[in-house]
Amino acid sequence: MNLLLGFLFFLGFSSTVSAEEKFDSHLLPRPLILEYPETQDILQLKGSDDAELQLQCTSWRFAVEANNLNPWKTIPSKCADYVKDYMTSRAYTYDLERVSMEAGTYAKSLQLAGDGMDAWIFDVDETLLSNLPYYSDHGFGLEVFDGHQFDKWVEKAAAPAIGASSKLYEEILGLGFKVFFLTGRSEMQRSVTVENLKNAGFTYWDKLILRALEDHGKTATLYKSEKRSGMAKEGYRILGNSGDQWSDLQGYAMSNRSFKLPNPMYYIP
Amino acid sequence: MNLLLGFLFFLGFSSTVSAEEKFDSHLLPRPLILEYPETQDILQLKGSDDAELQLQCTSWRFAVEANNLNPWKTIPSKCADYVKDYMTSRAYTYDLERVSMEAGTYAKSLQLAGDGMDAWIFDVDETLLSNLPYYSDHGFGLEVFDGHQFDKWVEKAAAPAIGASSKLYEEILGLGFKVFFLTGRSEMQRSVTVENLKNAGFTYWDKLILRALEDHGKTATLYKSEKRSGMAKEGYRILGNSGDQWSDLQGYAMSNRSFKLPNPMYYIP
């Protein structure tokens, strides 16, 4: 999530462009008109029966988390209540706790080399910090992303920690990993991001990497792959990676293990 | 799924070995005793309240589909009814239909080069063919996998087609892709696999790749990566890949887009 997401939307990318496509795809000419398939068409809801709706929205959410969906702009309108209920209930908390627990189990199973080159990457938004206070005012993904409004929220440095991630973060630090925060936020938001991270209890990191000027316009998949590749070239072994978007995790120079935090509210390519 | 899965289990792999680990990990010395964490421990169910159980088993299933779980041997015993209900209800069908639809939308959005080198890979078990008749007799993943019993089922060539995958398969063929079937089954099961595929309506393919003698003992991730790499070296562009296991999809020489079919019944590394 970053201040340029809105800009990226207007740059436009065709419905064929996805997080897993070839990495030179950003160099190809693109239509200037957004060609997302309509999310409502993707979710072919026939009725309004509550149990049926629940079933179909759960199926949609599974497709989000398994990275099966084509690029999408908003959640399906018929799933608005479903997503709200999920995000504000213990279902979301359980999913966060599970991924934190599995990541911790994996991390503890590793034998670190002890040379200070074993690294774990964390994304920031919806991974360490929760923007739920913002999204609860904006339909939990039902509204098209408004970069201007979101930036105003970011400037407050008020995003709370995701509890399950705080726990994992402390474990990872305790095990002796180098800890890298890799965010789609802009370098211009560094100071407010530092402030927010510290407010939320994330007081230490080895690197906090934000989008520099030359990264703007790149997909998150490309930008984050380039940064991971840079770490690998410096000799770091990226053993774990935690993120709420597949674009945090996929591409090249991938981590040995990736952990996908739940997020049915938005999609970043 | 293949006849050697049971054998692989007995070869043993530690809890640190996963589908996404370094590919030389199969060369490392491994303990001969299976070190899977107990699935029941992973699922820390506190009560037996039905709604709570539903919530926690759903969370477990999400973790399966998002590839967040550490290696597991059986489904959590408390989720036995949950998995059975899922596999035998329209929830599973909806998930299959969605992934087929999304894959079809993606496939149709591509412009094929027309040189016959654009390829789509399908896994076989739980992707084209359903072994649900077998698993319904074996607790839907509650029983530890029994390679001997499973092979007897395979020999019947009686696995029905997964309807949503038949639809995608026809679309993919119609669009002019080269179609490769890449399965963890053994080369010794070629003729019965051909018979079963034809019985189920999958009457054409460009290559049907099974595990040769030298592939036995490799993780599915490694074996399938090697085979994809071979295709790429022959000049094929792997544009799509459909599989029910992350080990069908991840590793190296990955497809431009991968589609993860649902399968909460078993895990293949």
Using CA atoms, how far residue B112 sits from A21, B116, B167, B221, in Å, is: 14, 8, 20, 27
3-class secondary-structure state, position A7 = helix
CA distance B198 to B182: 16
Q: How far apart are CA A268 and CA A5, in angstroms?
A: 8
C-alpha Rg value of chain B to the nearest Å: 18
Per-residue pLDDT at A10 exceeds 90: no
pLDDT tens track for B77-101: 999 999 999 999 999 999 999 999 9
Answer yes or no: are the C-beta atoms of B164 and B123 closer than 8 Å. Answer: no
Domains and CATH numbers, chain B: 5-37+94-260 (3.40.50.1000)
Chain B residues touching A20 at Cβ < 8 A: 254-258
Reference B5, options B122, B181, B88, B125; nearest CA is B125
Q: Which chain A residues have any C-beta within 8 angstroms of a chain B C-beta? A: 14-16, 18, 20-22, 37, 42, 55-56, 58-63, 65-70, 90-91, 94-95, 98-99, 101-103, 105-106, 109-110, 254-260, 262
Position A38 pLDDT exceeds 50: no
Region A186-200: mean pLDDT is: 98
Start-end of H helices in B66-110: 80-87, 90-109
**Which residues of chain B fall short of a pLDDT of 50?**
1-42
- A122 forms beta bridges with A181, A242
What is the rounded distance in angstroms from the CA atom of residue A179 to the CA atom of residue A118?
9
Across the A:B interface, residue pairs with CB atoms under 8 Å apart total: 116
Residue A24 has a pLDDT of: 36
Give the per-residue pLDDT at A208: 98
Q: What is the mean pLDDT of chain A?
A: 87
Nearest to A262 among B22, B62, B98 (CB): B62
What is the H or E stretch that residue B185 is in? strand B178-186
Enumerate the β-bridge partners of residue B207.
B180
Mutate to test the interface with A, among B20, B55, B61, B62 (most CBs of A within 10 A): B62
DSSP lists the bridge partners of residue A211 as A186
**Overall average pLDDT of the A204-213 stretch:** 98
In order of A122, A157, B43, B240, the CA distances from A95 in angstroms are: 17, 25, 11, 29
Residues of A in contact with B255 (CB under 8 A): 20
φ, ψ dihedrals at B75, nearest 5° = -70, 155
Give exposure, B2-36, as e/b (b: 16+ Cβ within 10 Å).
Answer: bbbbbebbeeebbbbbbbbbeeebbeeebeeeeeb
3-state secondary structure of A52: helix
What is the distance between the alpha carbons of residues B57 and B78, in angstroms, rounded to a whole number?
8
pLDDT value for B25: 34
Q: What is the predicted pLDDT for the residue at B27? A: 33
Asked if B63 lies within 8 A of A255 by C-beta distance, the reply is no
Residue A157 token pair: 């440095």
Out of A123-132, A198-207, B17-26, B150-159, least confident range: B17-26
For residue B76, how far is the Cα from the chain centroid? 19
Q: How many Cβ atoms from other residues are within 10 Å of residue B218's Cβ?
A: 18
| ipTM of the complex as predicted | 0.85
H-assigned helices in B163-242: 163-175, 190-199, 220-233
* Stretch A236-265: mean pLDDT: 98
Q: Do B90 and A55 make contact, defined as CB atoms within 8 angstroms?
A: yes
Residue A1 pLDDT level (bands cut at 50, 70, 90) = very low
Query: Which residues lie across from B241 on neighbouring strands?
Result: B121, B258
pLDDT above 70 (res A99): yes
Dump pLDDT digits (tens) for B168-211.
999 999 999 999 999 999 999 999 999 999 999 999 999 999 99
| Cβ contact, residue pair A101, B262, below 8 Å | no
Q: How many residues does chain A have?
A: 269
User: What is the model's pLDDT at position B48?
Assistant: 63
**In chain B, what is the greatest distance between 2 CA atoms, to the nearest angstrom?**
59
Taking contacts as CB-CB distances below 8 angstroms, the residues of chain A near B99 are 63, 66, 68
Between the CA of residue A104 and those of A203, B35, B168, what are the distances in Å? 19, 16, 38
CA–CA min distance B167, chain A (Å): 17
Q: Which residue from B59, B103, B255 is facing A95, i.e. has the nearest CB?
A: B59
Question: Mean pLDDT across the stretch A54-79?
Answer: 97
Q: Do B66 and A260 touch (CB under 8 A)?
A: yes
What pLDDT score does A45 carry? 57
On chain B, the residues whose CB falls within 8 A of the CB of A18 are: 106, 257
